[in-house]
Amino acid sequence: MQEVLSMVYLWLKAGHVIFVIFWMAGLFMLPRFFVYHQEAEAGSPEEARWIDRENKLLKIILLPSIIIVWLLGLALAGSIGAFAQGWFHAKLLLVLLLSGYHGYLSAYARKLARGERPLAGKKLRLLNEVPGVAAAIIVVLVIVKPF
């Protein structure tokens, strides 16, 4: 029985890492799409293509990935008793913040689709750094478990 549980844990972990990669890839791509979208002429066919690309990225990659990341992550945390560990609390906070960032990007995509362009390209390029910094900290927390 212990062997079966060990294998299930490893499959959960593998799935979690795979979907974290998908989610992070989408979080890296979307702000870059926004930069190109904003550089397109308003109302042009190019702008319409960017709106379509952003919607597909959000619906086909990002939404399923965030759901699976959360489900598998919570299952993993429960299976190892992580809810009582300090490193996990910090990781959970960062994942909550990344989830909020994901929501912000989704809302920004809707604004762009309506023709609103509230952020400059430079700010969008800076937004692109958020998931990288968060991922680096999360990896250290999970691997090193500093507290």
pLDDT of residue 5: 75
Contacts of 132 (CB under 8 A, 6+ apart): 28
Q: Give CA–CA dist 24/135, Å, rounded.
A: 8
What was the pLDDT predicted at 68? 98
Give CA 19 to chain center in angstroms. Answer: 9
Q: CB-based contacts of 127: which residues, under 8 Å, 6+ apart?
A: 31, 105, 119
Quick one: pLDDT at residue 8?
92
Cite the annotated binding site by residue number.
16, 91
CA-closest candidate to residue 22, choices 76, 71, 61, 74? 61
Q: Summarize the annotated binding site for heme as residue ranges.
A: 16, 91
- pLDDT value at residue 146: 96
| pLDDT number for residue 18 | 98
User: pTM for this one?
Assistant: 0.93
Question: Is 59 strand, coil or helix?
Answer: helix
* Average pLDDT by stretches of 10, the chain with 147 residues: 84 97 98 95 96 98 98 96 97 98 98 95 92 97 96
Task: Please give the pLDDT value at position 3.
Answer: 83
